[in-house]
Structure 1
Amino acid sequence: MPEVIFPGPEGRLEGRYHPQKIKDAPIAIILHPHPQFGGTMNNRVVYNLHYTFFNMGFTVLRFNFRGVGRSQGEYDQGIGELSDAASALDYLQSMNQNAKHCWVAGFSFGAWIGMQLLMRRPEITGFVSVSPPANMYDFSFLAPCPSSGLVINGTNDRVAPPADTRSLVGKLHEQKGITITHTEVEGAGHFYEDPHMETLTGSVSDYVKRRLTESTR
């Protein structure tokens, strides 16, 4: 899988870019967890999400936020990281101008950034938000949430407690015109240790395939 370097707001950003052979393949970006708590694009959940989307026929980009790995800059409380995500999407779109669908998937801190990106970019047709830390970050900007998506979390998550995720989903359910699908992985902690990773990726795959099938009817 090609390693890529592309321009970000604070200098170079490092990524892994995985193109399909089909020119109009859908595209997805995958966003990693908190940079100050060891989050990188090679996090197991991020890596598995990347391949889940690739195996469904998506051209996929995952990347390191500023200050992580070989990406330049330093941590910026989520503000700069949102700009990094926008630059990553610009880069992915510039390489795939015929893509019919555009998805964003994020894990933990990356889920928070992904949901903010959703608000800024109307071309995003779907999202996957894995273990969104609704106990740590304010998600009230999702008013209204512009597109349907999947929120997934583990029932034994001690980092982002399930009660907070359920509360977030409840608020999103009240909004008209979109459908939020909520799945809980029984017994899984925040990092989906085995055997829960397979359940996570299977749920994501089932959901995204269903959405893609519906869009072609």
Structure 2
Amino acid sequence: MPEIIFNGPAGRLEGRYVHAKTPNAPLALVLHPHPEHGGTMNNKITYHMFQTFVERGFSTLRFNFRGVGRSQGIYDRGEGELSDAASALDWMQELNPNAPYVWVGGFSFGAWIGMQLLMRRPEIRGWISVSPPANMYDFTFLAPCPTSGLIIQGNKDNIVPEPHAEKLVQKLRAQKGIEVDYRVVDGANHFYNDRIDQMVGHMHDYLNRADAGRKVVVPPKLISAA
């Protein structure tokens, strides 16, 4: 897939981008886990989230936050990384001025950044957060959360224990006007070892229900624990 370099607020940012074959396709931005804990755009979960959107016909971008891989700059505790994500979305929108809508997805730290981005960008129609680190970061900025989305969580996660994610979901569900779909993957740890297929299945099932991109048939066994 094409390697791209685009300008961010702290210098050049390195990414991977797949342009949809159909004209005026929707856009998807996928954000990786924590830069100081080995997180990159090539993280396994980030990669599979990216491929899920590609399969559905989205023009899709994942990239390295500042200071990761060939991206310039240094880690900035989330503030700079949010600006990086906004620049990435700007880059995609300049290339695709007629895109009908945008989705954002993120894993762990990337989920936290993605949910902040949707507060800033009203063109984001939906979001998918995998294992949002609700025990580590403040999510009270989602007041109110501007659009509906999906949270996926493993019940064997010892980095973000499942009750913390459930508490975040309950707070969001108390808000009017949005719906938060919560899918718990049985037996999944934070990195979804041996459970990637189930994670992807839940993504496709939710995106099918949301009429986002091309529909993809999901084997029932992959979402039976929803």
TM-score after normalising by structure 2:
0.93
> What runs of 5+ residues in structure 2 fail to find an aligned partner?
214-226
> What runs of 5+ residues in structure 1 fail to find an aligned partner?
none
Partner of 1:148: 148
The answer to whether the aligner puts 1:16 opposite 2:16 as a matched pair is: yes
The DSSP-based 3-state class of the residue aligned with 1:212 is coil
The DSSP-based 3-state class of the residue aligned with 2:135 is coil
Q: Give a deviation string over 1:129-174, Cα, whole Å, max 9, x none.
A: 0000000000000000000000010000011110100000000000
| Pair 213,78 (structure 1): closer, same or farther in 2 beyond 3 Å | closer
Q: Shift of residue 213 of structure 1?
A: 6.2
Partners in 2 of 1:92 and 1:101 — Cα distance?
12
Partners in 1 of 2:26 and 2:201 — Cα distance?
19
Partners in 1 of 2:185 and 2:83 — Cα distance?
31
CA RMSD, aligned part only? Answer: 1.0
| Pair 86,213 (structure 1): closer, same or farther in 2 beyond 3 Å | closer
Partners in 2 of 1:72 and 1:85 — Cα distance?
14
Partners in 2 of 1:213 and 1:73 — Cα distance?
34
Partners in 2 of 1:90 and 1:158 — Cα distance?
35
Partner of 1:58: 58
Partner of 1:79: 79
Moved over 2 A (4+): none
TM-score after normalising by structure 1:
0.97
Map 1:53-202 → 2, pairs under 5 A: 53-194=53-194, 196-202=195-201
Q: Is the 8 A contact 2:21 2:57 kept in 1?
A: no
The DSSP-based 3-state class of the residue aligned with 1:126 is strand
Partners in 1 of 2:205 and 2:55 — Cα distance?
12
Partners in 2 of 1:35 and 1:167 — Cα distance?
26
Q: Give a deviation string over 1:85-144, Cα, whole Å, max 9, x none.
A: 000000011111111120000000000000000100000000000000000000000000
1:79 aligned partner, one-letter code: E
